[in-house]
Amino acid sequence: MRCLGKSGKLSAKPEDENFFTCAGPGAAANFRPTGSPMTGLPQQLQNNNNMAIIDFGGTKEEVITRKEFPMSRARKVLKNETIAIIGYGVQGPAQALNLRDNGFKVIIGQAKQFAKDWNRACKDGWVPGKTLFDIEEAVQRGTIIQMLVSDAAQRSIWPAVKRNLKAGDALYFSHGFSIAYHTLTKVIPPSDVDVIMVAPKGSGTSVRRNFLSGAGINSSFAVFQDATGRAKDRCLAVGIGIGSGYLFPTTFEHEVFSDLTGERGVLMGALAGIMEAQYDVLRAHGHSPSEAFNETVEELTQSLIRLVDENGMDWMYANCSATAQRGALDWKPKFKKAVLPVFKDLYQRVKTGKECSRVLNSCGKPDYQQQLTKELDQIGNSEMWQAGKAVRALRPKETAKLISKATLGVTGRKSN
């Protein structure tokens, strides 16, 4: 096996740490990223990128905002394009509806045998034979092909997608998985199409809700292959079109490494595990389900995390009691020390492709949906989350009161 080393040159060392660049048996000889190792953008585009320079905690980074790339420019770039959304599951509906609402030409490619997704598309106003097609016909009709089925499903449908791609098309992803792990997924695009990515930092429902609220959602973007010379503009135009508030450059590899680590870690896996552990300890010491749930989940989701969202962790601490502040500051390093080895192990599993193999082997099984339902039911039917249903039902449902700059008592302490 020959692999691309850190320098971008061919290396004969299969143990090279950049697992994702290894070209396995049958891989296209010319399947190489066109961008630099750091940004995924072709070098000439980096030199003329018209990006805003933002200071992120002392490190200056380049980002694209709607000021640098307004909607009017996005519409101009995509005026002759047909955007084919492949898959109407999680990200598909949000990105498709946002693009349609912004005036772009959008069609849907969805396998009809998955009746729930097909019927959902029909309910959302996509018309069979006009804006809703099977996957192969949608790829034929589209010029920008957005691969928004699950990662495991992308491997399954890739042969059908590949044989219907046309020279000059853009192949779009919202996750680096299929390209970064191409030795396992076998997703190797032809050399005559652009390969681009816009990865919203949120679920499909968040992409849609933030769009409707006017807030937008931040996204990463990357150009892996620039066959037309227009790849970056097409990428950014779609990114703005789906409602991104701003876009920051990455690579397919960096995106998938950070994303898989985050999902398995703080965002989902670690959060759920820590919640369950605290709940179990409280229940074991005689606390009621309602008290254990409120102190574990409800206060976090309804109060504290919102303060973090507004102004950061230190501001949240400053607006809690002195007792809470002291305890949190004392115990934070203990929790970090406890979980740091777990995160190091997690990142290595992501980097070496072990997590990729786990996803493909598990999620690609015919009975995966049934197995997933069992696992999710086990969580949903647990005492902790049954208590959560009862707690949520008790939340008052009164008409919201208007909050303005003159409203008292909502700004909190400016500092400790």
Residue 10: what residue type? L
Two tokens at 255?
């995106």
- Helices of type H across 196-284: 204-213, 231-241, 252-264, 269-284
Distance in angstroms (rounded) separating the CA atoms of residues 28 and 13? 18
Edge to edge, what strands does the sheet with 22-23 contain? 10-11, 2-4, 22-23
Distance CA 53, CA 50 (A): 10
Nearest-angstrom CA–CA distance, 83 and 104: 8
Based on the residue annotation, tell me whether 175 is a catalytic residue of this protein.
yes
Q: Residue 322 and residue 318: Cα distance in Å, rounded? A: 8
The answer to whether the CB of 209 falls within 8 A of the CB of 227 is no
Residue 51 and residue 67: Cα distance in Å, rounded? 10
Residue 298, amino acid: E
Contact criterion met (CB below 8 Å) for 84 and 91: no
Segment 34-39 long-range contacts (CB within 8 Å, at least 24 positions apart)? 34/223, 34/224, 34/225, 34/226, 35/222, 35/223, 35/224, 35/251, 37/6, 37/8, 37/251, 38/251, 39/222, 39/249, 39/250, 39/251
The side-by-side arrangement of strands in the sheet containing 132-133 is: 52-56, 59-65, 244-249, 217-225, 194-200, 170-173, 144-147, 83-86, 106-109, 132-133
Burial class (CB in 10 A: 0-12, 13-18, 19+), 143: middle
Length of the chain equals 416
**Residue 29 DSSP label:** T
Task: Check 175, 182, 285, 287 and give the catalytic one.
Answer: 175
Query: So which residues are the catalytic ones?
Result: 175
